[in-house]
Amino acid sequence: MLALGKLLELTLAGHEPAVKIQLTTEGTRLRWLAEGALEVTPPAARDNGQDLLLSAGIHGNETAPIELLDDLLQAIARSQLQPCARLLFLFGNPAAMRSGARYIEQDINRLFNGQHDQHTGAEALRACDLEHLAANFFSKPERARLHYDLHTAIRASKIEQFALYPFQPDRPRSQRELARLSAAGIEAVLLHNKSSVTFSAYTYTQLGAEAFTLELGKARPFGQNELVNLDLLELHLQALIEGREPEGVTDDLSKLKLFAVAQEVIKHSDAFQLHLPADIENFSELPVGYLLAEDLSDTRWVISEPGTCIIFPNPKVKNGLRAGILIVPAEDVPLS
């Protein structure tokens, strides 16, 4: 196997490879760009015009998707997968990956779309570097652009695998991409209704890619992901890499649950209180009239709409950040 196929091993060891470019026997080029960043280019005769960015490890303790990308890259380096798409593999936060931590000082996935300019530290610099790597990768004109940012969640979820679809005014969501997600085992999609500061929001709004944050189960340490079943997603990604339409893709979206954001719960101060059990699962439904949270100046969040569910509740975030999202079933979604 080509040495550059061991990107995860290099990243966890903090090593820079001596050889930056290698070719497989079939002519696929692997090029090391920076720590945790590897570009894969198929021979021109096989190139199908697809640019596919696959990122994981934006949170360093979310290891199942990191291991999935490692498997795919090693298969390419062994010539078991022969790409027809251009690929960029990114491990987002190498320092946090090495520490087994979500982040070291700051959550990188809150530092995109201009936010890193307002902060200092290694993770702000890394967010800037990731934007540049993505922008350079997606700079070629007249090519299809797709980005999957792979995550696992802090807590358990009633819907195990779901996606978050960024928002851009007057841009309809792609029915084809939603159908692909459904075939890949994604059970639900949260449709954002305002701009965001995540990595997928950056590539979607600034670089014109179809982009999704994929939540794929509960975060566990390396080597302990037996309960995270990514078989369907792996087959899906193998097909995209090899230029095949993934199996099971149809126009029928009836199995895919679509949700819209009803409200974001923002923690304003240290007085913030979230009135939820510590072990509550994502997509838990809350009754109308339920007092969800309180903060200074008599700020209160009370459930007002039937069918409201909570995702990503986290009272330990820093002041000014999101401590949870309230979602409701989406209706009349414009699709292209």
Query: Which residues are known catalytic residues?
Result: 215
> Is residue 13 within 8 Å of 3, Cβ to Cβ?
no
For the chain, the maximum distance between any two Cα atoms, rounded to a whole number of angstroms, is 66
Bridge partners, 294 (sequence order): 273, 300
For 221, how many CA atoms within 13 A lie in the half-sphere containing its CB?
3
Among 202, 213, 223, smallest CA distance to 70 is for 223
d(CA 335, CA 317): 34
Please measure the distance between the N-terminal and C-terminal CA atoms of the chain and give it in whole angstroms.
Answer: 41
d(CA 121, CA 44): 40
HEC string for 86-117:
EEEEEECCHHHHHHCCCCCCCCHHHCCCCHHH
d(CA 260, CA 70): 33
> Is residue 301 within 8 Å of 322, Cβ to Cβ?
no
